[in-house]
Amino acid sequence: MDALGYPIDLRITAGQVHDVTQAGTLLSGKKCQYVLADKGFDAGHVIELIRAQGSEPVIPPRACSKPRYFDRHIYQERHLVECFFNRIKQFRRVATRYEKTARHYLAMVLIACILVWMV
């Protein structure tokens, strides 16, 4: 996502695979000031990767983690991610995943993203 809530890069994973497994590929080669994510991305290797890129992680710590500072005012902008998912789930084929293969589902998600960018 960019600062306006528009998608930049997408990865499809299996339903049982956690999103944090794709953090490295999604963050590689991207230069940004802040990286906003939810508590699920509070992993040491993700935080180190973000800092190695010269970005500041804005990820709240999980209850089982050591307390770590994050800017709560910047974190409030993460609602744009949730708004984006709400927008693409308005497309019935994306919300219910009618497609049987990941390739076809990714194509439908990309079409939904294009329509979000256009509107």
pLDDT of residue 111: 93
Tell me the pLDDT of the chain (119 aa) as tens digits.
Answer: 777 778 888 888 887 888 888 888 888 877 888 988 888 888 888 999 999 999 999 999 988 888 888 889 998 988 888 898 899 999 998 898 888 898 999 999 999 999 988 87
CB of 33 closer than 8 Å to CB of 11:
no
What's the pLDDT score for residue 107?
A: 93
Task: Please provide residue 35's backbone torsions phi and psi, each rounded to the nearest 5 degrees.
Answer: -120, 115
65 in Cβ contact with 42 (< 8 Å): yes
Residue 20, pLDDT score: 84
Segments making up each domain of the chain, as ranges: 19-118
